[in-house]
Structure 1
Amino acid sequence: MMPKGAKYYWLCQICGWTFVTLSMLFFAYTFSPQKINTNFFIRLFLIFSAGIFTTHIFRIFIQRSQWLLLPVERVIPRMIIGIVVTSLACSLLYMGLVEALDVQSESPRRIEFSTRLLASTLDIGLFIIPWALIYYSYHYINKSRKQEVDTLKLEALVKELELKTIKAHINPHFIFNALNSIRALIDENPGRARTAITELSNILRSSMQSEKSETVPLEKELNIVRDYLALEHIRFEDRLKVEYDVDDDTLNQPVPPMMLQTLVENAIKHGIGRQMSGGVVRIISDFKDDYHELMVQNTGRLNGQVNGDGFGISSTRNRLQLLFGDKADFSIREANGNLVEARVKIPVSLP
């Protein structure tokens, strides 16, 4: 069975050279109707056959020489030479067949062979040039589109792999810290430790489910954070105070899974954990302009560097960039002298 592309090629070949012969017939009928006879139609058929044959050979040569893979500036001189050679070959083939079949046009005088060859080559070249331009332009555009699609597929694959890599780092990081909190309880309060293990299992279950999507509703993310803070409260006791200022309308807004938990974990590790008297972790969620603004504030100082400028912060930036591009923003700063604020701005997702 002939491939689909080959069918279109032969259809274009036949239609194109049929148009050439019909154009010749039209001009002959308009300007020299007395020359239209049996020999004239035979010559038209010879032009048709020679044109298809020589351009098909030209096509094979282009493909085997891989001209279509070359830059345009390197193809142009090759294509010019190819057009000249193909026009000359088509003219020689046509004139040879005309001589062999003895179907020359009647002429009052015999024109020299070289002159007839040059005139025939120029005439046929007028049809080979558009053939070459159409053929190369089609494949050039087709190649460009294919490269664009391949590039988009590659970018999507890279994005997917990067997101999975980031997630693979986040979950073990979180589990390690949560297990440390539980371990501290085993000897002091076994009953609370058992409760903490149940809370951890709830977090892990939610975390595993979040791997199935690139974003989750804020409400689901807050449930994970509440369980996490409950575990951390066991370790810090009265040193850790938690405050929520969450607009209910933001609960359905999509956020990257485990992102808020990572920021809260960072606030405790680099903020509350370094304060002898502990401090507060405040979670704020609200709309501002056309953005969903999510903030995590904690007692502490930056000490001249970005608070927790490690995997937690860098992964947050990377995930926002991968999912939302330049439309999202992340910043972390010191406010009021003893308060660190991590702020995430995500474009509002309309229901």
Structure 2
Amino acid sequence: MKKPLSLYWKCQLIGWSVASLYWTLMGYIGSNFSVILAIIHFFGDLLIYIVPTHFFRNFSVKHRWHTLQPRPLLIRIIPAVFLLGLVFMALTISKTYLIRWWFEYDFSESFQHYARNAWLTTFATGVRLMSIWVLAYYLYHYAQREITATKENARLAIIAKDAQLDHLAAQLNPHFFFNSLNNIKALVFENPHQARRAIDLLSDLLRTSLYNRDSVLISVQEEMALINDYLELEKMRFEKRLQTVIDVEEKLSKALILPLSIQTLVENAIKHGIAQRKSGGTIHIKIEQKGDFIQATIQNPGKLKMERSQGLGIKNLTERLQLQFNGKATFHLAEQSDDTVLATIITPLT
């Protein structure tokens, strides 16, 4: 298969063809227009203008001018434009003189006289055209460099984001499962039947966690199934000291949220609320839609202590929310006037 023409050569051919056709049009509007001379001038223009610009392009690539910053680049291309203008002038005057000398029988002007009359206008035209060519060439490379840099930065940001999320998940899961294992340990001798049930629940929790490890988001229904298993596990330890009230809007069952986000707060409520009170208490879980957002609130009896607001679970949850939703999610933990603590997560509805 033939290798397709590169963008560079397409631009070279199209650009200089357009310029040459413009000069042909000017000749057609004028007098003594000849189709044969127009064709000769057209192909002559393509040859004599592509050669010096292509040579300049190879020189630029060899010395990596296209990688320079604007200031050092300008220092190099300004004199280069004038040099290309001189080359343009010399080639154009030579080409035009030879064609006239060969095809116009009554043309007898000397080359020196012809060049002296035409050099200034031709040089100005050459500088103008070469400036356009050089600027277009380097602007293209600058745009490509910016696009490449943007893509690379985006790719690195995604890699860093995924790595950080994996790191946070690795911190979070052991924290959750080790607590559950301690609960089972306490039940082994006291209530073997409940211990077996607890092992089944933990097995389900482990299976869910392993299969959903690569899931960036999970449904509210899946998160609540995990929470229900976890709460059943914890109720074996706290018995009547742990009561729950769960209110989830049915239309949100398929809505997507961050895995282990609500579960982390439920675990936190038990650890710092229920476990610290002899009488225990009730944990209220509510998930509802607020405009274009999902609001999840977890309320439990107790006081808000510094170690709770700055614990590993809360820190991880906050970072994961920011990473996943790019600042569009919020988390708030506050102590209420009725001796309760209210945790609120607000995430975009997806």
- TM-score, normalisation: structure 2: 0.87
Between the aligned partners of 1:144 and 1:107, the Cα distance in structure 2 is 55
Amino acid at match of 1:178: S
Task: Name the SS of the counterpart of 2:304 in structure 1.
Answer: coil
Amino acid at match of 1:62: S
Amino acid at match of 2:86: L
Between the aligned partners of 1:120 and 1:33, the Cα distance in structure 2 is 21
Which segment is superposed worse, 276-285 or 175-184? Answer: 276-285
Between the aligned partners of 2:290 and 2:28, the Cα distance in structure 1 is 77
Verify the 8 A CA contact 2:84 2:126 in the aligned structure 1: no
Between the aligned partners of 2:109 and 2:342, the Cα distance in structure 1 is 99
Determine whether 1:312 maps to 2:313.
yes
1:38–1:327 Cα change, 3 Å? closer
Write the mapping of 1:187-206 to structure 2, written as runs, cut at 5 A.
Answer: 187-206=189-208
**Which runs of 5 or more structure 1 residues have no equivalent in the other structure?**
none
Give the CA deviation at 1:94. Answer: 5.1
Between the aligned partners of 1:48 and 1:281, the Cα distance in structure 2 is 81
**Which runs of 5 or more structure 2 residues have no equivalent in the other structure?**
none
Partner of 1:63: 61
Verify the 8 A CA contact 1:284 1:295 in the aligned structure 2: yes
Give the CA deviation at 1:130. Answer: 1.8
Which segment is superposed worse, 159-168 or 338-347? Answer: 159-168
Give the CA deviation at 1:112. Answer: 7.7
Q: % of aligned pairs identical? A: 32
1:44–1:287 Cα change, 3 Å? closer
Between the aligned partners of 1:237 and 1:37, the Cα distance in structure 2 is 102
Amino acid at match of 2:6: K
What are the Cα deviations for residues 271-309 of structure 1, in whole angstroms up to 9, with x where unaligned?
A: 222223322222111223332211111111013x36341
Write the mapping of 1:15-34 to structure 2, written as runs, cut at 5 A.
Answer: 15-33=14-32
Between the aligned partners of 1:88 and 1:139, the Cα distance in structure 2 is 25
1:97–1:228 Cα change, 3 Å? same
Give the CA deviation at 1:62. Answer: 2.1
Partner of 1:12: 11
Partner of 2:255: 253
1:19–1:347 Cα change, 3 Å? closer
Give the CA deviation at 1:257. Answer: 1.1
The equivalent position to 1:160 in structure 2, one of 162, 171, 193, is 162
Between the aligned partners of 2:204 and 2:43, the Cα distance in structure 1 is 81
Between the aligned partners of 1:25 and 1:101, the Cα distance in structure 2 is 14
Give the CA deviation at 1:212. Answer: 3.0
Between the aligned partners of 1:208 and 1:38, the Cα distance in structure 2 is 78
What are the Cα deviations for residues 217-243 of structure 1, in whole angstroms up to 9, with x where unaligned?
A: 111111111111122222222322222
Between the aligned partners of 2:45 and 2:332, the Cα distance in structure 1 is 73
- TM-score, normalisation: structure 1: 0.87
The alignment's C-alpha RMSD in Å is 2.8
